[in-house]
Amino acid sequence: MSRQDGQGTDRSPAPRADVCIVGAGPAGALVAAELATSGHDVVVLDAGPRFDPAERTERMERRIRPAHGPESVWDMGGERDAFTSEGDMYYPLNAARVKGIGGTTLHWQGMVYRLHEADFERRSRDGVTADWPIGYDDLQSYYAAAETELGVAGADDNPFAPPRAEPYPMPAFPPSYSDSIFAEACEALEITTHSAPNARNSEAYDGRVPCQGYGTCKPVCPSGAKYDATVHVARAEEAGARVIDRAPVQRLEHDDAGDTIEAAVYATPDGEEHRQEARQFVLAAGGIEIPRLLLLSRSEQYPDGLANSSGLVGNYFMDHLAARVGGTVDQETRQNHVGFITTESHQFYDDGGEARGPFKLEFLNYAGPSPVGEALTSGPEAPWGDGLLDHIRESYGNYLEVTGLCEQTPQKANRVELNPDVTDDHGNPVPEIHWSIDDRTRRTIEAANERQRAIMDELGADVHWVVGPDSTGPAFHHMGTTRMGEDPAESVVDPECRTHDLDNCWVASSSVFVTGGALNPTLTIAALSLRVADRLDAEL
């Protein structure tokens, strides 16, 4: 018998489920859509709410008003989202994550890349870190499927990218005006540039409109032209899956032998707890909440946390580090005309060896303040009317920035653990993040800065800021906390993404990454998730 909470929503457990998925972001949504379409009974539990698509314009407006911080756009913060940070560097966890149906793809930039072949073989090629137990060839067909599912606009013009056997689903976005300025400098410096693939529509695709040019891609796309996981949540529900929002999973319970998970225990807004039983379980709640849930699920058989016989759950936490050089030039740059990146360079990605890791260069289309931001933050003495217009004309429109992502070398000491002294709204210990950067990562950032400065110098720019090793921050790509491997003593999941310790527990997440490369991880998350769905379909 169904039970409704005080909001009139049925959040009672399904009487029968083949698969219970924890998390309704891109990984969970893709697995749910694939399995539900194949005829399996699927239940998805997510900690956050359903966001009304009609409110996206309001959320966009909230983003461009300086009185609102980034957390307020998607209602992050408070006791529910509490965390602590230790280590050499503070980790601002809530600044760029979203809890809710669609997950962090509601907020993301929308850049999608296949990892390079070398990213899977860093130990073999460079003598550092570790190799993945799978290679690029194992994921190539899933990368292609993921590009189709998400809808990727791109061009096969990157000479440094791994091989591909098929075109992108949509043509690439053309280079921006500021890209043409950078192109001249890069040509003089013999730096090869190429297009950047984006999970946003350059033309109508999959029932969604082409990009409308709002320019607020991160943190909200009002038109829906940028992919987010609600696309596959809807597809899963149309195929019969149940997706339950505001149902944070408190713990996982296993059988007496400790071989299989029997139920996910979740809370609902009315204060009750429920048990969702299933034959198989997929953890898809991201690189912070997955290890936290496993650690919260400790038992007599697993005193250090579920699936943690290796002691590595939460260890090897990685992110990508920012390297940036920006300033002004004596010409118009049309800054903020495009809200995403259209040109990059991967020329220096794979030539680091043992000394440094990979990095990529990004030519920013939105350096400096927007016109709205300039007007709203120009100070109490700023003129209004025609005077304000003249002020903006004088101070706006000549900014440029070369940015980039740098690989963080995985270190066991970088980790996610529980802080028993701080609890969330259900009384559970919050995640505590230990984060620092090592010397090899510092050298990677320095190498990126050197190339960025050379480009800005070639342009004759006045450099206003440099983000280097001592001022860097994260890209909010949470990786590595349930790493993949053949040896159960050295990893949490096997090459199929099934936990070594429990035969019906799978992890679909960047948390399984062994190394992070220097490329945005969502396409690899999607490829791994489609692969997990294939394995589960065969298992069921």
**What is the bridge-based pairing of β-strands 170-171 and 153-154?**
parallel
Q: What is d(CA 189, CA 287) in angstroms, rounded to the nearest whole number? A: 39
| CA dihedral of 448, 449, 455, 459, whole degrees rounded to 10 | 160
Q: What is d(CA 224, CA 56) in angstroms, rounded to the nearest whole number? A: 9
pLDDT value, residue 3: 40
Domain ranges of the chain: 161-196+321-406+438-473
pLDDT value, residue 382: 64
pLDDT value, residue 4: 47
**Tokens matching residue 229:** 């996981």
CB 360 within 8 A of CB 404: yes
Sort 262 into a burial class: Cβ within 10 Å, 0-12 / 13-18 / 19+: middle
| CA dihedral of 497, 498, 501, 503, whole degrees rounded to 10 | 180
| Closest C-alpha among 56, 57, 52, 100 to residue 76 | 100
DSSP 495: T
| Closest C-alpha among 517, 25, 48 to residue 236 | 25
Q: What is d(CA 90, CA 103) in angstroms, rounded to the nearest whole number? A: 23
| Closest C-alpha among 404, 416, 401 to residue 321 | 404
Q: What is d(CA 27, CA 530) in angstroms, rounded to the nearest whole number? A: 8
pLDDT value, residue 2: 35
Identify each DSSP E strand in 28-146 by its residue range: 42-45, 84-86
Q: What is d(CA 415, CA 436) in angstroms, rounded to the nearest whole number? A: 10
Q: What is d(CA 111, CA 217) in angstroms, rounded to the nearest whole number? A: 11
Q: What is d(CA 167, CA 182) in angstroms, rounded to the nearest whole number? A: 27
Q: With a threshold of 0.85, does the pTM exceed it?
A: yes
Q: Which amino acid would we find at residue 222?
A: P
The number of helix segments (H) and strand segments (E) in the chain equals 12, 20
pLDDT value, residue 392: 72
**Which regions of the chain are under pLDDT 70?**
1-8, 373-374, 376-383
CB 47 within 8 A of CB 246: yes
pLDDT value, residue 7: 59
CB 104 within 8 A of CB 96: yes
What are the pLDDT digits (tens) for 382-425? 667 777 777 777 777 899 999 999 999 999 999 999 999 999 99
**Tokens matching residue 483:** 């790493």
Q: 161-196+321-406+438-473 is classed in which CATH architecture? A: 2-Layer Sandwich (3.30)
DSSP 445: H
Q: Which residues contact 435 (CB under 8 A, 6 or more apart)?
A: 85, 87, 88, 89, 90, 91, 317, 319, 414, 474
Q: What is d(CA 466, CA 17) in angstroms, rounded to the nearest whole number? A: 52
Q: What is d(CA 501, CA 488) in angstroms, rounded to the nearest whole number? A: 8
